[in-house]
Copies of this chain bind each other. A is one copy, B any other.
Amino acid sequence: MIGPEIDRLIQLLAKLPGLGPRSARRAALHLIKKRDSLMEPLAEAMAAAAAGIRTCSVCGNLDTGDPCHVCRDGERPGGRDRTTLCVVEEVGDLWALERTGAYRGLYHVLGGTLSALEGVGPDDLNVPKLLERASRPEVTEVILALNATVGGQTTAHYLADRLEGCEVRISRLAHGVPVGGELDYLDDGTLTAALRARRSL
Protein backbone atom coordinates (compact mmCIF):
# COMPACT_ATOMS: atom_id res chain seq x y z
CA MET A 1 0.00 0.00 0.00
CA ILE A 2 2.36 2.63 -1.34
CA GLY A 3 0.45 5.77 -2.32
CA PRO A 4 -0.32 6.15 -6.04
CA GLU A 5 1.76 9.34 -6.43
CA ILE A 6 4.88 7.69 -5.00
CA ASP A 7 4.20 4.52 -6.95
CA ARG A 8 4.01 6.53 -10.17
CA LEU A 9 7.29 8.27 -9.32
CA ILE A 10 8.97 4.88 -8.81
CA GLN A 11 7.54 3.47 -12.07
CA LEU A 12 8.84 6.46 -14.06
CA LEU A 13 12.27 6.43 -12.40
CA ALA A 14 12.56 2.72 -13.26
CA LYS A 15 12.42 3.68 -16.96
CA LEU A 16 15.74 5.51 -16.73
CA PRO A 17 18.69 3.54 -18.15
CA GLY A 18 20.79 2.15 -15.31
CA LEU A 19 17.95 2.08 -12.77
CA GLY A 20 16.08 -1.16 -12.13
CA PRO A 21 13.00 -1.47 -9.90
CA ARG A 22 15.09 -1.72 -6.73
CA SER A 23 17.32 1.26 -7.47
CA ALA A 24 14.27 3.22 -8.64
CA ARG A 25 12.75 2.74 -5.17
CA ARG A 26 16.00 3.85 -3.54
CA ALA A 27 16.13 6.87 -5.84
CA ALA A 28 12.51 7.75 -5.02
CA LEU A 29 13.17 7.53 -1.29
CA HIS A 30 16.30 9.63 -1.68
CA LEU A 31 14.34 12.25 -3.62
CA ILE A 32 11.58 12.32 -1.01
CA LYS A 33 14.10 12.81 1.77
CA LYS A 34 15.93 15.53 -0.17
CA ARG A 35 12.76 17.25 -1.26
CA ASP A 36 14.01 20.83 -1.15
CA SER A 37 17.62 20.24 -2.15
CA LEU A 38 17.08 17.66 -4.91
CA MET A 39 13.51 16.69 -5.87
CA GLU A 40 12.20 20.21 -6.46
CA PRO A 41 15.31 21.39 -8.36
CA LEU A 42 15.35 18.21 -10.45
CA ALA A 43 11.64 18.53 -11.26
CA GLU A 44 12.27 22.12 -12.36
CA ALA A 45 15.38 21.22 -14.37
CA MET A 46 13.44 18.49 -16.19
CA ALA A 47 10.47 20.73 -16.85
CA ALA A 48 12.80 23.46 -18.17
CA ALA A 49 14.67 20.98 -20.35
CA ALA A 50 11.44 19.43 -21.64
CA ALA A 51 10.10 22.86 -22.52
CA GLY A 52 13.29 24.34 -23.91
CA ILE A 53 15.32 21.70 -25.71
CA ARG A 54 15.41 21.91 -29.51
CA THR A 55 17.29 20.20 -32.31
CA CYS A 56 19.81 22.75 -33.58
CA SER A 57 18.85 23.65 -37.15
CA VAL A 58 22.52 24.17 -38.02
CA CYS A 59 24.28 21.12 -36.62
CA GLY A 60 21.64 18.72 -35.24
CA ASN A 61 22.78 19.06 -31.60
CA LEU A 62 20.13 18.96 -28.87
CA ASP A 63 20.21 22.07 -26.70
CA THR A 64 18.08 24.82 -25.25
CA GLY A 65 17.91 27.42 -27.95
CA ASP A 66 18.48 27.18 -31.69
CA PRO A 67 21.26 27.54 -32.83
CA CYS A 68 22.86 25.52 -30.04
CA HIS A 69 25.53 26.86 -27.67
CA VAL A 70 28.34 25.46 -29.82
CA CYS A 71 27.05 26.97 -33.07
CA ARG A 72 26.33 30.30 -31.39
CA ASP A 73 29.86 30.38 -30.02
CA GLY A 74 31.11 29.80 -33.58
CA GLU A 75 29.42 33.06 -34.60
CA ARG A 76 31.28 35.02 -31.93
CA PRO A 77 34.66 36.67 -32.71
CA GLY A 78 37.30 34.63 -30.88
CA GLY A 79 34.78 31.84 -30.43
CA ARG A 80 34.89 28.26 -31.68
CA ASP A 81 36.89 27.41 -34.76
CA ARG A 82 34.54 27.55 -37.77
CA THR A 83 37.05 25.97 -40.14
CA THR A 84 36.52 22.45 -38.76
CA LEU A 85 33.40 20.30 -38.65
CA CYS A 86 33.37 17.16 -36.52
CA VAL A 87 30.75 14.68 -37.73
CA VAL A 88 29.27 12.45 -35.01
CA GLU A 89 26.47 9.90 -34.97
CA GLU A 90 24.64 11.04 -31.86
CA VAL A 91 24.48 13.90 -29.38
CA GLY A 92 26.01 11.63 -26.72
CA ASP A 93 29.16 11.44 -28.89
CA LEU A 94 29.26 15.24 -29.09
CA TRP A 95 29.04 15.36 -25.30
CA ALA A 96 31.87 12.84 -25.01
CA LEU A 97 34.12 14.92 -27.28
CA GLU A 98 33.23 18.13 -25.45
CA ARG A 99 34.23 16.54 -22.16
CA THR A 100 37.78 16.04 -23.43
CA GLY A 101 38.16 19.79 -23.97
CA ALA A 102 40.47 18.81 -26.88
CA TYR A 103 38.23 20.00 -29.72
CA ARG A 104 37.49 23.65 -30.47
CA GLY A 105 35.65 23.38 -33.81
CA LEU A 106 32.01 22.90 -34.73
CA TYR A 107 29.97 19.70 -34.96
CA HIS A 108 27.56 17.99 -37.23
CA VAL A 109 25.25 15.40 -35.65
CA LEU A 110 24.04 12.82 -38.17
CA GLY A 111 21.41 11.24 -35.93
CA GLY A 112 22.52 7.67 -36.65
CA THR A 113 24.27 5.64 -39.33
CA LEU A 114 23.33 4.48 -42.80
CA SER A 115 21.56 1.13 -42.79
CA ALA A 116 20.13 -0.56 -45.84
CA LEU A 117 18.57 -3.15 -43.54
CA GLU A 118 16.70 -0.57 -41.49
CA GLY A 119 16.01 1.66 -44.47
CA VAL A 120 18.12 4.55 -43.21
CA GLY A 121 19.39 6.59 -46.14
CA PRO A 122 21.45 9.81 -46.44
CA ASP A 123 18.36 12.01 -46.38
CA ASP A 124 17.35 10.49 -43.02
CA LEU A 125 20.73 11.43 -41.58
CA ASN A 126 21.24 15.16 -41.92
CA VAL A 127 23.69 14.47 -44.77
CA PRO A 128 22.50 17.13 -47.26
CA LYS A 129 23.04 19.78 -44.60
CA LEU A 130 26.54 18.43 -43.96
CA LEU A 131 27.46 18.70 -47.65
CA GLU A 132 26.14 22.25 -47.70
CA ARG A 133 28.14 23.23 -44.61
CA ALA A 134 31.31 21.51 -45.86
CA SER A 135 31.08 23.54 -49.10
CA ARG A 136 31.27 26.86 -47.28
CA PRO A 137 34.53 28.71 -47.99
CA GLU A 138 35.64 28.92 -44.35
CA VAL A 139 35.48 25.15 -43.81
CA THR A 140 38.85 23.47 -44.37
CA GLU A 141 38.49 20.15 -42.55
CA VAL A 142 35.78 17.60 -41.83
CA ILE A 143 36.56 15.06 -39.11
CA LEU A 144 34.51 11.88 -39.42
CA ALA A 145 34.26 10.92 -35.74
CA LEU A 146 31.94 7.96 -36.22
CA ASN A 147 31.87 4.85 -34.08
CA ALA A 148 34.33 2.08 -34.98
CA THR A 149 31.41 -0.19 -35.78
CA VAL A 150 30.35 -1.59 -39.15
CA GLY A 151 27.56 0.99 -39.42
CA GLY A 152 29.82 3.84 -38.37
CA GLN A 153 32.60 2.92 -40.78
CA THR A 154 30.23 2.28 -43.68
CA THR A 155 28.77 5.71 -43.11
CA ALA A 156 32.26 7.27 -42.84
CA HIS A 157 33.28 5.81 -46.19
CA TYR A 158 30.05 7.00 -47.80
CA LEU A 159 30.58 10.51 -46.41
CA ALA A 160 34.25 10.56 -47.48
CA ASP A 161 33.10 9.80 -51.06
CA ARG A 162 30.40 12.44 -51.00
CA LEU A 163 32.74 15.05 -49.53
CA GLU A 164 35.40 14.59 -52.20
CA GLY A 165 33.93 17.40 -54.24
CA CYS A 166 34.36 19.85 -51.38
CA GLU A 167 37.71 21.57 -50.94
CA VAL A 168 38.27 20.14 -47.48
CA ARG A 169 40.65 17.84 -45.72
CA ILE A 170 38.76 14.74 -44.65
CA SER A 171 40.05 13.00 -41.54
CA ARG A 172 38.98 10.34 -39.14
CA LEU A 173 39.80 9.67 -35.50
CA ALA A 174 43.06 7.80 -34.99
CA HIS A 175 43.13 4.15 -34.17
CA GLY A 176 43.04 3.87 -30.47
CA VAL A 177 39.29 3.72 -30.59
CA PRO A 178 38.79 0.01 -29.86
CA VAL A 179 37.26 -1.94 -32.73
CA GLY A 180 33.59 -2.39 -31.97
CA GLY A 181 33.75 0.33 -29.33
CA GLU A 182 31.39 3.26 -29.03
CA LEU A 183 32.69 6.77 -28.36
CA ASP A 184 30.33 7.47 -25.50
CA TYR A 185 31.86 4.64 -23.46
CA LEU A 186 35.48 5.65 -23.94
CA ASP A 187 37.66 7.31 -21.31
CA ASP A 188 38.63 10.92 -21.97
CA GLY A 189 42.34 10.13 -22.39
CA THR A 190 41.81 7.64 -25.20
CA LEU A 191 39.37 9.94 -26.89
CA THR A 192 41.78 12.89 -26.63
CA ALA A 193 44.64 10.83 -28.06
CA ALA A 194 42.45 9.57 -30.88
CA LEU A 195 41.39 13.11 -31.71
CA ARG A 196 44.96 14.48 -31.74
CA ALA A 197 46.29 11.64 -33.91
CA ARG A 198 43.49 11.86 -36.47
CA ARG A 199 44.48 10.87 -40.03
CA SER A 200 43.63 12.24 -43.45
CA LEU A 201 41.44 9.92 -45.52
Give CA–CA (A62, B184) in the complex, Å.
38
Contacts of A58 in B (CB 8 A): none
Pick from B17, B38, B41: contact of A26, CB below 8 A. B17
Cβ-defined contact, B17 with A49, below 8 A: no
Contacts of A32 in B (CB 8 A): 49, 53, 62, 91
Contacts of A65 in B (CB 8 A): 3
Interface residues on A, range: 35 or more
Interface string of A31-62 (1 = CB under 8 A from B): 11011001111111111111011000000001
Cβ-defined contact, B39 with A9, below 8 A: no
Tell me the smallest distance from the CB of A42 to a CB of chain B, in Å: 4
Pick from B1, B6, B16, B48: contact of A73, CB below 8 A. B1
Q: How many identical chains are in the complex?
A: 2
Give CA–CA (A9, B79) in the complex, Å.
25
Among residues of B, the one whose C-beta sits closest to the C-beta of A53 is B32
Contacts of A16 in B (CB 8 A): 19, 27, 30-31, 38
Given contacts A8-B45, A39-B46, contact A63 B26 (CB under 8 A): no
